[in-house]
Structure 1
Amino acid sequence: MLPGGGGGAGDDRKRRGATTDEEDATSASAASLNDLCAGAGAGAAPPPFPRAAAWAVAALLAVGLGVGALVLAVVRSAALLVVAVLLSAAVAAFLAWNAAAAASGRALRRFVDGLPASSLRVAADGQLVKITGFVSCGDISLISSYEKVENCVYTSTLLRKCATWGSIVLNPWNRCSKWKLTHAERFAADFYITDAKSGKRALVKAGHHSKVVPLIDENLLVTTSRDTELSSTLKYWLDERKLSSEEAQLIRLEEGYIREGMRLSVIGMLSKKNGDAMILPPPEPLSTGCVLLSFLLPTYFDGIVLRLVDRSYFVPNPGVS
């Protein structure tokens, strides 16, 4: 969400050092805000393995199974069929493992955590860098959608509902084994990061339609059951977005953010011009490379990567509300 809170426009301009009138300030804030959900489908990074390659491997394994079955029927030897079945199972497990790692971001997290931190003092212009340090707001700051946490540079609020088959909930015991994402709000803005190695500060261009890859865990704030009475805050939040607020439905609300003062790792292309340092999205998708010990194929990322180091706000086991 855009900043605003309870202060007036004049107070807001004063807090950010703006010198334009109210309309210009509002327009500048809207232009700097980056709606990550709106651009999620554009310029997506390629999958860990091409779909054509997966189909080709599947066809070869099918041929192997067919030949094994034929040998079993003619020669009465199951050795080739057993080999084909075991090989098919191994390949299927390998592909499923890599697909899950790419979808969950596990492969990219391993890459980010294993990459050595760079120094703004010695890194060259145009170099891919990983800068770790403390975050400070830029021209605008964000407020989280549900908890109303102020002075954020990135916010994420996700609403999930229990998957249904027709009008019947899959699990009849007030528990849900599959949650479907039905509403998402992800925003980012330009911010500064102070390099822990050199003490220098760089502007991270995460706003204004930049490509951003957030590796940020959301807190589970609300989980409802059929007999849960929705709080007034949750009802207002749902009604404000014209979302269904029926008492009987099973829903989860999750929220994450990067707030000023948190410790963050940023991966992007370094730009040094006129003595100012900026971290920009890479011009094209980049590969993480193979991780042989973990059986991981190369995965790709397209944009500035944000990896939160400070997890002090994260509550892993919240109660039902």
Structure 2
Amino acid sequence: MLPGGEDGGKHRGATADEEAAATAASLNDLCATAGDAGGLPALAPFPRAAVWAVAALLAVGLGLGALVLAVVHSAALLVVAVLLSAAVVAFLLWNAAASASGRALRRFVDGLPASSLRSATDDQLVKITGLVACGDISLISSYEKVENCVYTSTLLRKCGRWGSEVANPKNRCSKWKLTHAERFAADFYITDAKSGKRALVKAGHDSRVVPLIDENLLVTTSGNTELSSTLRCWLDERNIPSEECQLIRLEEGYIAEGMRLSVIGILSKKDGDLMILPPPEPISTGCVFLSFLLPTYFDGIVLRLVDRSYFMHNSGVS
């Protein structure tokens, strides 16, 4: 059974046993990577040891500044140390936020020129942009029941402030904690817009995948909202008590057949078959000096949705 219900996926032209075997071999469960930061399996832009080393140096500078102030009554060194500390802390926080939100990786993907399957060589890191087509396995989204998907993501969040009321359900200042996640991917085909050639993207079977896919906000409730029958049924199917879901928001994203997608991975041309595979080791995005961004790293096939026609900002409240 594929995600989304009893008819949650289709294995074209196969028996039930063959479908189950194909599902186990092709479906990629990414739920473990769905964290509060968006589920991006990206490495931090700087190691923890470096942060502690910088913190120790700043503490020494502040201490020396305070000592000079006490001995010679000159605050110049202390002021310089304070300003330098503030600048370094802001720089580190800026980079940490950019890495956690995926902003740095999105800038890298959007700025990378598109490759051509015709001219690209074997084992080359490529960015292929084109139309998506399902492979042997297709998915259906968990809540909206969108069929013929190659990637689906459904996230349930609860208000992180105990006993609080959300005056404005769309207020981004409210703290929402991720409590349930369903995120799946399967192998699919992409047709290169430059060359017209088609490649198999190995996003299934435990491949490392970095989905840069935004979720639609489908449901937001406040303390006095009566849950819809559709939402109650969805919660009951997952054994989530509906009485505990008075302050929630439900988000869902997907990549459906026919959408335009950019894929970054390693091209394989063995035996005449074109495939895009996860990189064998983490890839650096490099520095972006004008944006004060340090290198961040990604480990897996990157999926960046180009066709955002399905995306509705701040969609319905239920």
Change (3 A) 1:298 1:144: same
1:206 aligns with 2:200: no
Secondary structure of the corresponding residue to residue 139 of structure 2: coil
**Structure 2 CA distance for aligned equivalents of residues 26 and 248 of structure 1:** 33
Q: 1:74 to 1:39 in 2, by over 3 A?
A: closer
Amino acid at match of 2:13: G
Q: Could you tell me which residue of structure 1 aligns to residue 23 of structure 2? A: 29
Residues 148-297 of structure 1: pairs in structure 2 closer than 5 A? 148-165=145-162, 168-169=163-164, 171=165, 173=167, 177-246=174-243, 249-297=246-294
Distance 1:143 1:225, change over 3 A: same
| Distance in 2, Cα, partners of 1:253 & 1:150 | 19
1:210 partner letter: S
Q: What is the CA–CA distance in structure 2 between the aligned matches of 1:29 and 1:215, rounded to whole Å?
A: 24
CA distance in 2, matches of 1:244, 1:233: 14
Q: Distance in 2 between matches of 1:27 and 1:101?
A: 40
The CA RMSD measured in Å over matched residues stands at 2.3
Offset at residue 4 of structure 1 (A): 8.4
Residue 144 of structure 2 corresponds to 147
**TM-superposed deviation, 1:317:** 2.4
Mapped to 2, the partners of 1:56 and 1:282 lie a distance apart of 31
The one-letter code of the counterpart of 1:82 is: V
Q: TM-score, normalised by structure 1?
A: 0.92
Structure 2: runs of 5+ lacking an equivalent: none
Secondary structure (helix, strand or coil) at the match of 2:80 reads helix
Q: What secondary structure, in the 3-state scheme, does the structure 1 residue paired with 2:207 have?
A: coil
Kindly state the Cα deviation for residue 158 of structure 1 after the two structures are TM-superposed.
0.3
The alpha carbon displacement at 1:47 in A equals 1.1
- C-alpha distance in 2, partners of 1:172/1:220? 16
Question: What's the CA shift for 1:249?
Answer: 2.2
Post-superposition Cα deviations, 1:235-262, rounded to whole Å, max 9, x if no partner, equal: 0111111112127621000000000000
Number of aligned residue pairs: 312
C-alpha displacement of 1:17: 3.1
Q: Hey, what does 1:310 align to over in structure 2?
A: 307
How far has the Cα of 1:273 moved from its partner? Answer: 1.4
- Normalising to structure 2: TM-score of the pair? 0.93
Identical counterparts, % of pairs? 82
Partner of residue 72, structure 1: 69
**Alignment-derived partner of residue 17 in structure 1:** 13
Alpha-carbon distance, 1:174 to partner: 6.3
| Residue type of the alignment partner of 2:68 | V
